[in-house]
Amino acid sequence: MKIVVLPKQTFDTEAKITLDAAGKINREGVNLIMNPYDEFAVEEALRLKEKHGGEVTVVSFGGPKVPDILRQALAMGADKAVHVGDEGLEEIDEHTTATILAKLLRDLEYDLILAGWRAIDDGSAQVAGRVAEILGLPMVNMVIKLDIAEGKAVASREIEGGYEVVEVPLPAVITAQKGLNEPRYPTMKGIMQAKKKPMQKLTIADLGLGGEEVAPKVRARRYYLPSPRSQGKIITGEPAEAAAELVRLLREEAKVV
Amino acid sequence: MNFDLTKEQKMIRDVVREFAQGEIAPRAREIDRTGQFPLDIIKKMADLDLMGLPFPEKYGGAGADYVSYCLAVEEISRACASTGLTYEAHISLGCMPIYLFGTEEQKEKYLVPLCRGECLGAFGLTEPNAGSDAGATQTTAVEDGDWWVINGSKCFITNASYARFVTITAVTDRALGKRGISNFIVPTDAPGFTIRATYEKMGLHGSNTTELFFDNVRVPKENLLGERNKGFKQFLQVLDGGRIAIAAMAVGIAQACLDAALAYARERVQFGQPIARFQAISFKLADMATNIELARTMYLKAAWLKDQGRPVTKEAAMVKVFASEMATRAALDAIQIHGGYGYMKEFPVERYLRDAKLLEIGEGTSEINRLVIARAIGCYL
């Protein structure tokens, strides 16, 4: 079985977000990681490979540090990687990314495409769905259990108040939700062997794309940080009086009761 | 000049850090309290191929370098110094003599199971009357046909209860003094070989420290490790590497001291503000961070020299002294910053002090290492 995983490089979950002089998100000195939901996708791909045989390819679009997360996936056990660079693109959106990934995927063989259900940075949860749409593939979102048999995928997903089990023919796009699996640590041998595995670097021009095709349809106009949380208030006094004062403040000041 | 770690070194450090903080650190307090040897953690480390990290794949290793190994030692020791010492002694003292001096057959037979983590490595050098004066070894090995017959005892030997075999030093030619010492691989199930682990220690409670007793223990001739009567030179070379790793351990403990003290100082409010804002505290933390950075840079340099196959005796001794004494100071300062709480077992810093102190003693005391440095810079010409 041939599986392609689409990880994205994101800020570390503990990174402090700041804006630069131009009002853009400051990327200087920020630790970058593989989007945690994409780690579930990579892990699931490796487990499916271990069970059914086959090959796992990881593909990511982005800046010059993207090979770090691809190398991580190779160290975990993926077989090969493709990095599509973002050179020459000033601004991108989900349309840009999905267009580029889908174009590349047309040249790859796959039975299954896996991704995280969303990235922890912009959280738009659109790219995998757009890729499925462009390629005309069925898609199951936010999957917590996945079985593959006889050319079909049976996937469980959380829905409000319960679970839904759906079946789709392969090839299909499946996105991972927390709970699907527990990603492995790369082994030391895996890390050392990763450098011997193929990592292809492509540009957008290599894919025959450019200009309007990859221009963003959505543009961010402004970024701003949430206002700092104001100091809490401690109400002193006898418990009964303090409780009455708390209720008064909740009603009159906070207007929540 | 390039101070960057390679991509592999960086990834190894990051993965070991994540593993150590996730799987080992939460257990460290309990390991210290009970003295229970964390075999399950060692098993997980073996699953990550850590137990043979700096050795070639053909011997079951991961094929990484000594720099990567020292980075791993730092991260594991930062989480739990007992586990750090188990790991350090396994690689630097257990595996290394066999890797450096073993024949192909010996490497196949002994290094491979060590690298796979099937058993732990141990090195029997110290004796009750041969500590800093390791040349005064009293344990003897006498030839008897196709056998060597070993008599004597060893003390303070790490990991031996979990070893299938121990590399030991023994006198093979009394007339030659320290030039009459040889190394032997002795199976732990050999008749007459007793291992006892009854020490009550100040710290490193989760590290296995043993005494070895040899009562007419017979090992076949092929268990001689390296050249006959070259044992003294061999173990000095082994200790050079070990000292770099001990320095990495010290940096790990000191980093844990800084992590704990900084977090505490930011939260602890006195006189209306976090104590980290007081110069008396912030300068302590600044000095700690500075010394850690210096010691880390130096152990990386020493490990790099070793990877390049260059002489490292002097640098190894320097960083061993500097880092171990620095770690003890960092632990004392971390306790001071914690005030009364630092003296309590509820906080980890008193453990860091008990653990750090050993590093000024094991694998060459500070005094012996200063002697090595003084000799290297030409004091005794």
Instruction: Give the DSSP per-residue string, A155-205.
Output: EEEEETTEEEEEEEESSEEEEE-TTS--PPPPPHHHHHHHTTS-EEEE-TG
We report the CATH number of the domain holding residue A27 as 3.40.50.620
Q: Does A185 sit within 8 Å of B49, measured CB to CB?
A: no
Q: Is residue A220 part of a domain?
A: no
Confidence at residue B191, expressed as pLDDT on a 0 to 100 scale: 98
Question: How close B47 comes to chain A (CA, Å)?
Answer: 7
Average pLDDT, rounded, for chain B:
97
Q: Quick check: helix, strand or coil at residue A93?
A: coil
Confidence at residue B165, expressed as pLDDT on a 0 to 100 scale: 98
- Percent over 90 (pLDDT), chain B: 98
Confidence at residue B370, expressed as pLDDT on a 0 to 100 scale: 98
Statement to judge: residues A159 and A242 lie in one domain:
no
Name which of A19-28, A56-65, B200-209, B345-354 the model is least confident about: A19-28
* B11 secondary structure, DSSP code: H
- CATH code: domain B123-231 is 2.40.110.10
Taking the C-alpha atoms of residue B356 and residue A154, their distance in angstroms, rounded to an integer, is 54
Q: Is A151 exposed, middle or buried (0-12, 13-18, 19+ CB in 10 A)?
A: exposed
B11, closest residue in chain A (CA to CA): A191
Statement to judge: residues A152 and A250 lie in one domain:
no
Kindly list the distances between the CA atom of residue A3 and the CA atoms of A42, A48, A111, A113, B242, in Å, as whole numbers in the listed order: 10, 9, 6, 6, 45
Contacts of B145 (CB under 8 A, 6+ apart): none
Taking the C-alpha atoms of residue B130 and residue B138, their distance in angstroms, rounded to an integer, is 8
- CATH code: domain B237-376 is 1.20.140.10
Find the radius of gyration of the CA atoms of chain B: 21
Taking the C-alpha atoms of residue B352 and residue B29, their distance in angstroms, rounded to an integer, is 11
Q: Does A189 sit within 8 Å of B62, measured CB to CB?
A: yes
Confidence at residue A16, expressed as pLDDT on a 0 to 100 scale: 87
Query: Helix and strand tally (H, E) in chain A?
Result: 6, 11
Would you say the CATH fold of B123-231 matches that of B7-115? no
User: DSSP string spanning B164-206?
Assistant: SEEEEEEES-GGGGGGGEEEEEEETTSTTEEEE-----SS-TT
Q: What is the pLDDT of residues B137-148, one digit of tens each?
A: 999 999 999 999
- Percent over 70 (pLDDT), chain B: 100
Q: Is residue A233 part of a domain?
A: yes
Kindly list the distances between the CA atom of residue B74 and the CA atoms of B20, B246, B250, B292, B373, in Å, as whole numbers in the listed order: 10, 9, 7, 11, 24
A73, closest residue in chain B (CA to CA): B11
Domain ranges of chain B: 7-115, 123-231, 237-376
Q: Is residue A218 part of a domain?
A: no
Q: What is the pLDDT of residues B64-77, one digit of tens each?
A: 999 999 999 999 99
Statement to judge: residues A132 and A180 lie in one domain:
yes
Using a CB-CB cut-off of 8 Å, the residues of chain A touching B59 are none
Confidence at residue A88, expressed as pLDDT on a 0 to 100 scale: 84
Neighbours of A36 (CB within 10 A): 15
User: DSSP string spanning B43-98?
Assistant: HHHHHTTGGGTTS-GGGT-----HHHHHHHHHHHHHH-HHHHHHHHIIIIIIIHHH
Residue B371: pLDDT band (50, 70, 90) is very high
| Stretch B102-112: mean pLDDT | 98
B7-115 CATH choice from 1.10.540.10, 3.40.50.720, 3.40.30.10, 3.40.50.300: 1.10.540.10
The residue of B4, B5, B6, B7 whose CB has the most chain A CBs within 10 angstroms, and thus the best one to mutate to test that interface, is B7
Statement to judge: residues A143 and A236 lie in one domain:
no
Q: Does A185 sit within 8 Å of B11, measured CB to CB?
A: no
Using a CB-CB cut-off of 8 Å, the residues of chain B touching A186 are 11, 15
Confidence at residue B159, expressed as pLDDT on a 0 to 100 scale: 98
Confidence at residue A227, expressed as pLDDT on a 0 to 100 scale: 83
Q: Does A195 sit within 8 Å of B8, measured CB to CB?
A: yes
Taking the C-alpha atoms of residue B54 and residue B65, their distance in angstroms, rounded to an integer, is 5
ipTM of the complex: 0.91
Q: What is the pTM of this model?
A: 0.91
Statement to judge: residues A121 and A176 lie in one domain:
yes
The residue range of the domain holding A243 is 227-257
What amino acid occupies position B189? D
Q: Which residues pair with B168 in a beta bridge?
A: B124, B184
Number of domains in chain A: 2
Residue B48: pLDDT band (50, 70, 90) is very high
Confidence at residue A232, expressed as pLDDT on a 0 to 100 scale: 81
Using a CB-CB cut-off of 8 Å, the residues of chain A touching B11 are 71-72, 75, 186, 191, 194
Q: Is residue A53 part of a domain?
A: yes
**pLDDT of B252 strictly over 80:** yes
Q: Which residues pair with A146 in a beta bridge?
A: A155
Q: Is residue A219 part of a domain?
A: no
Statement to judge: residues A154 and A237 lie in one domain:
no
What tokens appear for A109 in the block? 């063989």
Active site positions of B, annotated: 363
What tokens appear for B168 in the block? 């030991």
Taking the C-alpha atoms of residue B166 and residue B93, their distance in angstroms, rounded to an integer, is 10
Confidence at residue A91, expressed as pLDDT on a 0 to 100 scale: 87
Question: How close A185 comes to chain B (CA, Å)?
Answer: 7
Residues of chain A short of pLDDT 70, as ranges, are none
Confidence at residue A211, expressed as pLDDT on a 0 to 100 scale: 86
